[in-house]
Structure 1
Amino acid sequence: MNIPFRREDALVSGEVETIAPGVRRLLCDNPSAFTFRGTNTYLIGTGSSVAVLDPGPVNEAHLAAILDATRGETITQIVVSHTHRDHSPGVAPLKEITGATTYGYGPHATPGVGGDESFVPEIRLADGQTAEIGGRAVTSLFTPGHCGNHLCFALDGTGILFSADHVMAWSTSVVSPPDGSMRAYMDSIAKLRAREGIDTLYLPGHGPSLPDPMPFLDGLSAHRQKREERIVAALRDRGPSTVEALVGPVYGPLDPKLVAAAGRSMLAQLLMLEEEGAAARDGEVWKLN
């Protein structure tokens, strides 16, 4: 099954898009091969209680845009979906100005592997916990895989799910061990798939919104399954191989900027095959059992 990607996004950094009553989006100007056009920051609530979800990296222009968008209002909460450096470092300068309370699942799960280790939430949100965020009832869903402390957030009663980097309309998510786990990622996809009829609009951490998300989730699952089949076939054809040697046969031609990330996702799938007893490794070399 092909994944029905959506990459059209007219929002300009510094501007504010109203998505639904009490839900606004701003775009940070930090484009890259991994962040698309930049990090999405969401404002939940209005007036005397506004929550900022994922203030992004430290970026003076984006901080100014958040403050300008909420002029005359009160930012009471800062919520973090996960501690990658394009999502949570902006918490510190925003908190210094607003004094808002910070929320998240917890600190970065695997120190020393490139995450933002500075963020420690004042209030920790557990899986399935409902809290008042921006004056609205929001339920947190623990969805590790892309990041070990990743949360999605359901805006209860609206059909809106803030899917962060777990599910994005513009691209698949990078899953990079040891903080990323393909087994956890697939389990988290299944967890969201089980919410059919509840969530009808995903608002991701990068790129445009995703309406009718369930067929997209099916596409993500099929894509990872197909990738696993190609890895198994490559190992069968080539014999014991390193991750580096497998990238070309499995992925085909790639933008050089994406080769390293492809290798990390492949390693995640090999580790899942190892957990299932289908593959084994000897140092850097992998083989089928």
Structure 2
Amino acid sequence: MNVPFLRDDPLPPGEAETVAPGIRRILCDNPSAFTFRGTNTYLVGGGGSVAVIDPGPEDERHLQAILAATAGERVTHILVSHTHRDHSPGARRLAALTNAPTLGYGPHATPPEAGQEGGDHDFVPDIALADDAVVDGADWRLRALFTPGHCGNHLCFALEGSGVLFSADHVMSWSTSVVSPPDGSMRAYMDSLGRLRLREGVDRLYLPGHGPRLPDPMPFLDALSVHRRRREQRILSALREHGPASLEALVGPVYGPMDPRLVKAAGRSMLAQLLMLEEEGAASCRDGLWALA
């Protein structure tokens, strides 16, 4: 089962488009091999109470686009799905300009010295959201769902009564998510996928952190799970043929030819799967060399 990625996304950066009733999207102009065309910021509600979900990086043009789109409205909440630098740093200035509190699961779970170069270690939410916490606006209600894996403090947000889930970087329409230890965990990621799969019939549209809207998300979740399990089998085959071997030596046999910009990230995701295999007793590591257990 191949993952049916969606990559047709013509929205110009800085413009606000309606993606579902009461929901607007603004695309930040921060494209990369990891962010696709950029980070999606979502505006929920209007008039008396607007929630901003993932204000993005520190980017003046994006900040001004958010302020322009909400002119004449009151921003009452700034929600952050997780503390990666393409999602949370923009919250600081937006909060200062709107007097709206920031909300998120908590600060970044691993310290800078742990090698999490993409983490925003400065973000601390004004209001910490536990799993299943509810945030109310004038005409909307968002429920926080703790979905670690891509990031240790990752939240998805369900817009109650709408069938819409803001899936952030846990489930993206354009690509798979990078899972990079120690903050990222493949076991947690797979468990979080399973949790969302149990919401069949509740969530009918995913609005991801990068890429276009994702309708009918359940088959997509199934494809993501199959994709990870197939990758696991390729890792086991590579260990059988090449092990004991270093992480770097296994990337080529497991992934094949790929964009050089993604080699390091691929190695990190493969490490996450190796660590899960180690937990399951299927693989082991000694002196930096991985082998079948």
Fold shared by both chains (TM-score > 0.5): yes
Is 1:30 the counterpart of 2:24? The answer is no
- Aligned 1:136-151 pairs, distance under 5 A: 136-151=140-155
Aligned length: 289
CA distance in 2, matches of 1:111, 1:14: 33
The equivalent of 2:272 in structure 1 is: 268
Shift of 1:133: 4.3
Does structure 1 conserve the Cα–Cα contact (< 8 Å) formed by 2:24 and 2:44? yes
CA distance in 2, matches of 1:239, 1:100: 53
Is 1:234 the counterpart of 2:231? The answer is no
**Secondary structure class of the residue paired with 1:63:** helix
Shift of 1:21: 2.2
| Cα distance change, pair 179–69 in 1 and its aligned pair in 2 (3 A) | same
| Cα distance change, pair 134–58 in 1 and its aligned pair in 2 (3 A) | farther
The equivalent of 1:180 in structure 2 is: 184
CA distance in 1, matches of 2:290, 2:228: 19
| Cα distance change, pair 255–73 in 1 and its aligned pair in 2 (3 A) | same
- Aligned 1:25-104 pairs, distance under 5 A: 25-104=25-104
| 1:70-89 deviation line (CA, Å, top 9, x unaligned) | 11111111100000000000
Structure 1 outlier segments of 4+, above 4 Å: none
Give the aligned residue type for 1:232: L
The normalised TM-score by structure 2 is 0.97
| 1:150-172 deviation line (CA, Å, top 9, x unaligned) | 00000011100000000001000
| 1:19-74 deviation line (CA, Å, top 9, x unaligned) | 12221000000000000000000001101211110000000000000000011111
CA distance in 2, matches of 1:219, 1:242: 29
CA distance in 1, matches of 2:93, 2:264: 32
CA distance in 2, matches of 1:215, 1:154: 19
CA distance in 2, matches of 1:198, 1:12: 31
**Secondary structure class of the residue paired with 1:26:** strand
After TM superposition, the structure 1 stretch with the greater mean CA deviation from structure 2, 85-94 or 114-123, is: 114-123
CA distance in 2, matches of 1:254, 1:182: 21
CA distance in 2, matches of 1:238, 1:202: 40
Shift of 1:179: 0.4
Does structure 2 conserve the Cα–Cα contact (< 8 Å) formed by 1:145 and 1:166? yes
**Secondary structure class of the residue paired with 1:45:** strand
The equivalent of 1:130 in structure 2 is: 134
| 1:190-229 deviation line (CA, Å, top 9, x unaligned) | 0000100000000000000100000000000000000000
Does structure 1 conserve the Cα–Cα contact (< 8 Å) formed by 2:19 and 2:213? no
Does structure 2 conserve the Cα–Cα contact (< 8 Å) formed by 1:76 and 1:134? no
Shift of 1:126: 1.1
**Secondary structure class of the residue paired with 1:77:** strand
The normalised TM-score by structure 1 is 0.99
Shift of 1:16: 0.6
CA distance in 1, matches of 2:94, 2:271: 36
After TM superposition, the structure 1 stretch with the greater mean CA deviation from structure 2, 53-62 or 106-115, is: 106-115
CA distance in 1, matches of 2:4, 2:267: 24
1:223 to 224, 227, 240: 227
2:208 to 190, 204, 211: 204
| Cα distance change, pair 277–265 in 1 and its aligned pair in 2 (3 A) | same
Structure 1 unmatched runs, 5+:
none
The equivalent of 2:123 in structure 1 is: 119
The equivalent of 2:247 in structure 1 is: 243
CA distance in 2, matches of 1:11, 1:275: 43
Shift of 1:122: 1.0
CA distance in 2, matches of 1:283, 1:107: 33
Shift of 1:252: 0.3
The equivalent of 2:7 in structure 1 is: 7
Does structure 2 conserve the Cα–Cα contact (< 8 Å) formed by 1:103 and 1:123? yes
CA distance in 1, matches of 2:236, 2:200: 31
CA distance in 2, matches of 1:169, 1:180: 19
The equivalent of 1:109 in structure 2 is: 109
The root-mean-square deviation of aligned C-alpha atoms, in Å, is: 0.8
